[in-house]
Structure 1
Amino acid sequence: MRRHTAVLLAGQIGRIALQGLYFVVLARTLGAAHYGASAAVLALVSMLLPFSSLGTILLLVRNVAQQPATAAVQWANCVTLVLVSGTTLAVLLALAGRWVAPAATSVAVIAAVGITDLVLARVTEAAGAVFHAQEHMHWSALVPVLLQAARLLGLAALVLGPWTVDLTSWAVSYAVSTALVCLALTVLVLRRLGWSPPQLARYRQEWRTGLLFSVGMASTTVYNDVDKAMLGRFATLEATGIYSAAYRVVDMSYAPVRSLLGAASPAMWRAGADGSVTAVAAVARARLLRPAAAYCLLGTVGMFGAADLVPALLGDSFTESVPALRALSFLLIVKGCHYVIGDTLTCAGAQGARTVVQVAVAVLNVGLCLLLIPTHGWQGAVLVSLVCDGLLAVGLGAILAHRLRRERSRPAPTTVDYAGTTAAS
């Protein structure tokens, strides 16, 4: 566990460093307004991401962790469904762009970002999921680093070259760099697993679980990203850039907890093979609770104290990101709570209950955004994020506590020993 966590954390640190540099260069190059437009488009696309794979990436991790021999088939099914579903969603988003994207954002930009994130990046993520399920954590950690490195090189070529840096040229560099990594990793996975035709009959047997995964992840992206999309539509692009910059810092700061969850997930899936919440919670408590809690507390204090550095890194147009980051820094603690609890429920086969809470919070989030963002801008978005993530943590915690009490209250099964006496097993 320590070795896997260290490997994944090293990968996350590398990804964060590259992503942070990409973020700084892009924000300084485009300015708050144009950066806000790019953030709004990315937020729109991210809300469709869970449905671009129809839950097959998480199914791949679960099934390969429990049945390693199915890896080639799981990979083939996942890629097939991503190509079909992701392409369809990208086309639909491009057609609807004039009504949902920020004004004056071209269809070409929306289409390029849509194909990149809904198809190319998802195939890349599926490749990483194969390595993760097989507990080849060094490869799993390397995949996001390669992706961010390629994107940074593409942006550097754009900034240093003779091209005009605008939303269109950025979208092209974003797509081309992601495509190169996707192609390389696809070849690598095929060489490791061999070729297998898709067997979609397998997916038909578990599509309901895949749908629950998709809806749950969609709810997560709604309450993570709908505020940015609505800021771009109902407020100013400057407000979108200010809020998105602060939120990006919080998201990058969450990476170590993401590494802990990733390292523990194969063991948690195995512990929950028979649906025991108690067994999964024991793994989470032993491997996640203390380090995650300690990091979230320290990270919150660090972000709150270092918020004044944001304008120095991104430029004077991001001055108002300082109070936004200080308020959002408390999200790190809340996110740590609800992701650890939520993943415990998921690995124990309680994804349905988790999804119900996530959907309810997502609906509340949209309603509050519609109420507060048009009148209060990024301040309203900050308040909505804190309230909704807090309610999510409380709701999931209540479900976990209820399920643990229910399992502990069940009578222990009995067995008969060789002498004919009955004993609790």
Structure 2
Amino acid sequence: MKGSIVNIVCQFVKLGFQFLYFTIAAKMLGADKFGLWASVSALCNILSPLIILGIGPCIIKVHASDKDFSLFRSYYYLGALLLAIGTLVLTPVAALLYKTNYSTVALVLIAELFVFRQIELLSQMYLAKGNKLAFSLFPVAFIVFKLLIVFVVFWWGGSDDFIYVNFISSLVFILPVMCWEELRSVKSNLKLQFQKAIHMMREAVYFSLATTAKTVYTDSDKVILGAANNLRDVANYNIAYKLISLVFVPVSAVLSIQAPTLYHLGSLENKAALREKIKRLIALCVAMSSLIGIGIIIFLPIILSFFGDEYANAKNMVYLLLPAPIIMSIHYVFADGITAMGYQKLRAYMSIITAVLNAVLGLVFIPMYGVAGAVGITLFSETLLLVLFSSVYMSKLKKKYVEH
């Protein structure tokens, strides 16, 4: 639990710095260009799990049991290679989708896809190795470094192009880290074993599909709004989503740290410990989400005042979206319980079905109703996942009890 507390604190610190970073971006870019950045970033969120093939979550699950770290170097470089290819392929597609120049899209994609996803991958590898402190602090160091670069550049009268500065600061951070990881791997005599890593990644495909499904129903609305040229709506909607994400921070932190424990309990024949663990996690996660949600409502007018009049519409969007993270606090715990019992494929299938339904509804209703349609579809999707995951969890848990 100590690791969970540290991770929660780090998550809040990270989001605090991210809030400051996005405030600066929103101020400097203006609503329309900030909306473009947010929409392209949402596209990265949707496609990155498919591009990277769920390597990170698979590493955590595999190495939680056998403690074999010999493939880490292969996993990391395979992930970096896939991200580089994905960035090259996605650049012309995104430029055509958003009707903007290639250079702007390329700068956003390199920073938000190639670099940021490597930060996530490295963090997951640190967790798999048991280094919970590095897992918690590494993303914080990344956002703090970018903030410092932004302040230095603009304080000394450098470039006023925020997208360019974001791109440069991201590259300057990740390149030394890549060199450091390579030196550590060479020193430890870890050989590249791409063939073995690819073979072990078969299970990772299901993690990838489940994660992609999750990002489809959390980010497809921003992509559709952006593609429909409602970039100002995307900007306000993104601000609302960033604030709402605060509600889910403690849940995400706790579940990330508790993942190895859940996998261990799920592998035991007696599921009583897993059942009790899931009950405690649900109670804890709902309580934390509710408290954070109340805090956001109280301080919302003050928070939005930092962004300016262009983002005033985000206020009502926050109120409408607030139930979503509380619902997520429940169904994510049930979903992790399903995975812990070995039903990752079933979890992926349910997530995919929900994601497809979400995307179809989004394509129909978001162009017609804009933000109102996006909010309605989001709440519907989260509720549907709660019903599906809770039902399957109860059914599979009962089946395990009957078997043993």
Higher RCO structure (Cα 8 Å, ≥6 apart): 2
The aligned residue for residue 238 of structure 2 is 244
* Identical columns (%): 23
Distance 1:282 1:36, change over 3 A: same
Offset at residue 116 of structure 1 (A): 2.7
The normalised TM-score by structure 1 is 0.88
Matched, 1:369 2:362: yes
* Alignment of 1:380 onto 2:369: no
Deviations 1:213-244 (A, max 9, x none): 11111111111111111111115211111111
Aligned to 1:94: 91
Higher deviation after alignment, 345-354 or 116-125: 116-125
Amino acid at match of 2:148: L
2:353 matches 1:360: yes
Distance 1:196 1:79 in 2: 12
DSSP 3-state at the match of 1:198:
coil
State the SS of the aligned residue for 1:197: coil
Equivalent position of 1:45 in the other structure: 44
User: Is residue 262 of structure 2 the alignment partner of residue 296 of structure 1?
Assistant: no
Q: Which amino acid aligns with 1:82?
A: G
Structure 1 unpaired stretches of 5+: 413-425
- Aligned match of 1:71: 69
Residue 107 (structure 1) aligns with? 102
Secondary structure in structure 2 of the residue aligned to 1:353? helix
- Is 1:310–1:322's contact at 8 Å kept on the other side of the alignment? no
Among candidates 151, 156, 159, match of residue 151 of structure 2: 156
Mapped contact 1:5–1:263 kept (Cα < 8 A):
yes
Cα 1:122–1:240, aligned 2, differ >3 Å: closer, same or farther?
Answer: closer
Q: Is contact 2:247-2:326 (8 Å) kept?
A: no
CA contact (8 A) 1:154 1:177 kept: yes
Structure-2 residue corresponding to 1:11: 10
Q: Is the 8 A contact 2:43 2:223 kept in 1?
A: yes
Where does the alignment leave 5 or more consecutive residues of structure 2 unmatched?
none
> How far 1:276 moved relative to its partner?
7.3
User: In the aligned structure 1, how far is the partner of 2:90 from the partner of 2:269?
Assistant: 38
Letter of the 1:22 counterpart: Y
Range 44-53 or range 212-221, more displaced: 44-53
Q: 1:399 to 1:275 in 2, by over 3 A?
A: farther
1:329 equivalent among 315, 322, 331: 322
8 Å contact 2:107–2:163 — kept in the other structure?
yes
Pairwise CA distance, 1:191: 5.6
What is the RMSD of the two structures over their aligned residues, measured on CA atoms? 2.1
Q: How does 1:161-310 map to 2 (within 5 A)?
A: 161-163=156-158, 165=160, 169-190=161-182, 194-273=188-267, 279-286=273-280, 288-310=281-303
Matched, 1:395 2:388: yes
Shift of 1:126: 2.4
**Structure 1 residues 306 and 371: alpha-carbon distance in aligned structure 2, compared to 1, 3 A threshold:** farther
In structure 2, what is the Cα distance between the partners aligned to 1:371 and 1:308?
33
Q: Give the secondary-structure state (helix, strand or coil) at the position aligned to 1:201.
A: helix
Counterpart residue identity of residue 358, structure 2: N
Query: Pick from 328, 332, 336: which aligns with 1:339?
Result: 332
Q: Mark the CA change 1:186 to 1:308 in structure 2 (over 3 Å): closer, same or farther.
A: same
Query: What amino acid does structure 2 have at the position aligned with 1:407?
Result: K
1:90–1:182 distance in 2 versus 1, CA, 3 Å = same
Q: CA deviation at 1:323?
A: 0.6
Give, in whole Å, the separation in 2 of the partners of 1:388 and 1:170.
Answer: 34
Contact 1:242–1:378 (8 Å) recurs in 2: no
Q: Deviations over 1:133-190 (max 9, x none)?
A: 232211111111011112222332444343453xxx3333222222233234335545
Aligned to 1:72, the other structure's residue is in SS state: coil
Aligned-partner Cα distance in 2 for 1:184–1:7: 26
Which letter does structure 1 place at the counterpart of 2:104? V
Match of 1:27 in 2: 26
Of 342, 347, 352 in structure 2, the residue corresponding to residue 349 of structure 1 is 342
Preserved contact between residue 51 and residue 86 of structure 1 (Cα < 8 Å):
no
Question: Does the 8 Å contact 1:124/1:185 carry over to 2?
Answer: no
Q: Deviations over 1:37-80 (max 9, x none)?
A: 11011111111110232121112112222122x2132x222222
Distance 1:279 1:92 in 2: 46
Distance (whole Å) between structure 2 residues aligned to residue 161 and residue 246 of structure 1: 32
Bigger-Rg structure (1/2)? 1
Residue 69 of structure 2 aligns to a residue in which SS? helix
Is this contact kept in 2: 1:32–1:318, CA < 8 A?
Answer: yes
Q: Which amino acid aligns with 1:40?
A: S
TM-score with structure 2 length normalisation?
0.93
Distance 1:354 1:315 in 2: 42
**Whole-angstrom CA distance in 1 between matches of 2:205 and 2:47:** 13
* CA distance in structure 2 between the aligned counterparts of 1:348 and 1:191, rounded to whole angstroms: 38
Matched letter for residue 354 of structure 2: V
| C-alpha displacement of 1:316 | 0.8
In 2, are the aligned partners of 1:56 and 1:210 still within 8 Å (CA)?
Answer: yes
Partner of 1:421: none
Give the whole-Å Cα distance in 2 for the aligned partners of 1:164 and 1:280: 54
State the 1:346 CA deviation.
2.0
Q: Deviations over 1:274-311 (max 9, x none)?
A: 6876654433334x222211111222233334333343
